[in-house]
């Protein structure tokens, strides 16, 4: 019986529905925060372009510091527990900002500390979440699950940005962060209600009653194992490098977008939230069409379409101006978000099939170390460029880099194929070669 005949995954899988609800709530709160913190810095504490970019960078620096060992740590623990603790930490940290404002002690330093600490919590949540999904969803349903999660994440970000802008306009940027109490609490309760219990970490390593236990976990060995799989597998290596370059370019323009829209389009806080949210609406479209386009033209060809040709429209963004000129930002942002989210759906489904379950956490963390670790570099470079030559030239450089990141894809086997391979990567062990199955 087909998935369509059985009904949608959200309808027939209670635990996936709870994971979905928690993820949507968390993404909503995260989007609200990502807009509110720069608005607080610029509008309340009178920060400039570099300080706003530094604030964005602080949220992603933890990927550089703990991204690699986080994957090994998560593979040693129950992923659901990691997600619960991470969400609770984020909830408490966000509440410290309005509390400090009430006491009259809010500073840019505190905003940077909150951004960095919540970023560290996000490292563990994202790593655990990526590795936890296969425990809840059977392999034939994972494409549908990934599409639903990525689409909902984009929709939540759109609504969160719009709500964040409206809340900042009505109640002030600081007070708008209080909405995170409800969103992170909902995420916490939804994740806690999931009934499926994944195998114990020892079982994931292959330990069974009556057999000798696996060697004692070694952090350095486990981190190296994840890195060997990525560097030794042409597909994981290609996608990790592209993700790093693309994220660097994306964050380069997003880190200065608030200052850019204030200076070039003369928008209010509420209008900025609406415009940035509208630009992100392409993510919903991308998630909706990713599987259909992949089935129609092939997953490899679809990735080239979504990650190179569609993001070319990012070059409309620097043309943004007052009034009708805002449409340039919206159209360019729509194209970028649609292409990136659609590409993420296809890549996530491929990776969950391609990577052995026991190392999925560290593979996810190793890839995220490269992908997300590049984000603060892009933010800092863009902030420094904007301070040196102006916001508009910095925006031109950043948006041009978005489609140029796909040069890595052109140098891979991807353009010569219709579909991504079905083979799995061979797990790297001290006794086995790291050379993967499925290398062309």
> Which pair of tokens denotes residue 437?
């199955």
SS3 of 141-163: the string is HHHHHHHHHHHHHHHHHHHHHHH
Which domains are seen in the chain, by residue range? 10-197+218-416 (1.20.1250.20)
Q: What is the pLDDT of residue 427?
A: 44
Q: Is the per-residue pLDDT at 218 higher than 70?
A: no
- Interior angle at CA 319, CA 317 and CA 320, nearest 5: 75
Q: Is the per-residue pLDDT at 260 higher than 60?
A: yes
Q: Which residue's entry shows tokens 């009708």? A: 324
| More confidently predicted of 124 and 224 | 124
> Which pair of tokens denotes residue 392?
């508009």
Cα distance between residue 224 and residue 381, in whole Å = 29
Mean pLDDT (whole number) for 10-20: 87
Q: Which residue's entry shows tokens 């609200």? A: 32
> Which pair of tokens denotes residue 430?
């001290």
Taking phi over 0 as left and psi of -120 to 50 as alpha, with beta for the rest, 106 belongs to: beta
Cα distance between residue 21 and residue 19, in whole Å = 5
pLDDT band at 121 (very low <50, low <70, confident <90, very high): very high
Mean pLDDT comparison of 196-210, 217-231, 276-290, 397-411, highest-scoring range? 397-411
pLDDT band at 74 (very low <50, low <70, confident <90, very high): confident
| More confidently predicted of 425 and 420 | 420
pLDDT band at 434 (very low <50, low <70, confident <90, very high): very low
pLDDT band at 428 (very low <50, low <70, confident <90, very high): very low
Which residue, among 399, 308, 371, 414, has the nearest Cα to 123 in the 3D structure? 371
Q: Is the per-residue pLDDT at 101 higher than 50?
A: yes
| More confidently predicted of 356 and 200 | 356
Cα distance between residue 288 and residue 152, in whole Å = 10
Q: 224: which DSSP letter?
A: H
Cα distance between residue 375 and residue 59, in whole Å = 9
What value does the mean pLDDT of the chain take?
A: 82
Q: Is the per-residue pLDDT at 429 higher than 50?
A: no
Q: What is the pLDDT of residue 334?
A: 94
Which residue, among 120, 92, 112, 130, has the nearest Cα to 45 in the 3D structure? 112
> Which pair of tokens denotes residue 75?
């593979």
Residues 289-312 have pLDDT tens digits of 998 999 999 999 999 999 999 999
Write the CB contacts of 268 (distance below 8 Å, at least 6 apart in sequence). 169
Point out the least confidently predicted range of 22-36, 81-95, 333-347, 353-367: 353-367
Q: Is the per-residue pLDDT at 99 higher than 80?
A: yes
Contact 29, 186 (CB under 8 A): no
Mean pLDDT (whole number) for 399-416: 94
Mean pLDDT (whole number) for 107-135: 88
Q: What is the pLDDT of residue 10?
A: 79
Cα distance between residue 52 and residue 48, in whole Å = 6
Write the CB contacts of 194 (distance below 8 Å, at least 6 apart in sequence). 15, 18, 19, 80, 136
Write the CB contacts of 137 (distance below 8 Å, at least 6 apart in sequence). 9, 13, 16, 145
Mean pLDDT (whole number) for 379-393: 92
Point out the least confidently predicted range of 131-135, 137-141, 149-153: 149-153
Point out the least confidently predicted range of 60-74, 181-195, 251-265: 60-74
DSSP string, 335-403: HHHHHHHHHHHHHHHHHHHHS-GGGHHHHHHHHHHHHHHHHHHHHHHHHHHHHHH-HHHHHHHHHHHHH
Helix axes 326-354, 142-171, angle to 10 degrees: 140
Q: What is the pLDDT of residue 177?
A: 79
Mean pLDDT (whole number) for 9-17: 86
Count of C-beta atoms within a 10 Å radius of residue 14:
14
């Amino acid at each position: 019986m087909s998935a369509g005949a059985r009904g949608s995954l959200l309808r027939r899988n209670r635990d996936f529905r709870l994971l979905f609800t928690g993820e949507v709530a968390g993404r909503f709160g995260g989007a609200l925060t990502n807009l509110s913190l720069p608005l607080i810095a610029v509008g309340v504490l009178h920060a400039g372009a570099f300080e706003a970019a530094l604030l964005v960078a602080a949220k992603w620096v933890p990927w550089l510091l703990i991204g690699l060992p986080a994957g090994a740590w998560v593979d040693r623990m129950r992923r659901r527990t990691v997600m619960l603790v991470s969400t609770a930490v984020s909830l408490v940290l966000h509440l410290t900002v309005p509390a400090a404002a009430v006491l009259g002690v809010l500073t840019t330093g505190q905003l940077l500390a909150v951004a960095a600490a919540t970023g560290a919590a996000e490292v563990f949540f994202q790593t655990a979440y990526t590795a936890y999904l296969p425990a809840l969803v059977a392999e034939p349903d994972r494409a549908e699950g990934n599409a639903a999660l990525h689409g909902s994440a984009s929709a939540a970000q759109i609504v969160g940005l719009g709500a964040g802008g409206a809340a900042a306009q009505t109640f002030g940027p600081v007070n708008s962060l209080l909405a995170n109490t409800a969103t992170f609490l909902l995420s916490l309760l939804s994740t806690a209600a999931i009934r499926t219990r994944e195998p114990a970490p020892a079982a994931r390593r292959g330990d069974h009653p009556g057999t000798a236990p696996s060697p004692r976990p070694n952090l350095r060995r486990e981190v190296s194992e994840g890195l060997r799989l990525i560097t030794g597998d042409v597909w994981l290596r290609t996608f990790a490098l592209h993700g790093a370059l693309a994220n660097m370019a994306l964050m380069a323009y997003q880190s200065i977008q608030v200052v850019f829209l204030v200076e070039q389009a003369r928008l209010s806080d509420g209008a900025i939230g609406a415009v940035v949210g509208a630009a992100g609406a392409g993510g919903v479209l991308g998630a909706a069409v990713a599987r259909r386009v992949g089935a129609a033209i092939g997953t490899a060809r679809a990735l080239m379409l979504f990650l190179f040709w569609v993001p070319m429209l990012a070059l409309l963004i620097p043309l943004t101006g007052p009034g009708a000129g805002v449409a340039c930002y919206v159209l360019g942002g729509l194209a970028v978000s649609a292409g990136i989210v659609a590409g993420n759906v296809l890549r996530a489904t491929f990776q969950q099939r391609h990577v052995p379950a026991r190392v999925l956490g560290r593979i996810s963390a190793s890839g995220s170390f490269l992908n997300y670790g590049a984000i603060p570099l892009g933010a800092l470079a863009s902030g420094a460029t904007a301070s040196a030559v102006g916001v508009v030239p910095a925006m031109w450089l950043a948006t041009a880099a978005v489609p140029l990141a796909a040069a890595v894809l052109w140098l891979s086997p991807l353009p010569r194929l219709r579909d991504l391979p079905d083979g799995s990567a061979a797990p790297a062990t001290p006794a086995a070669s790291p050379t993967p199955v499925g290398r062309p």
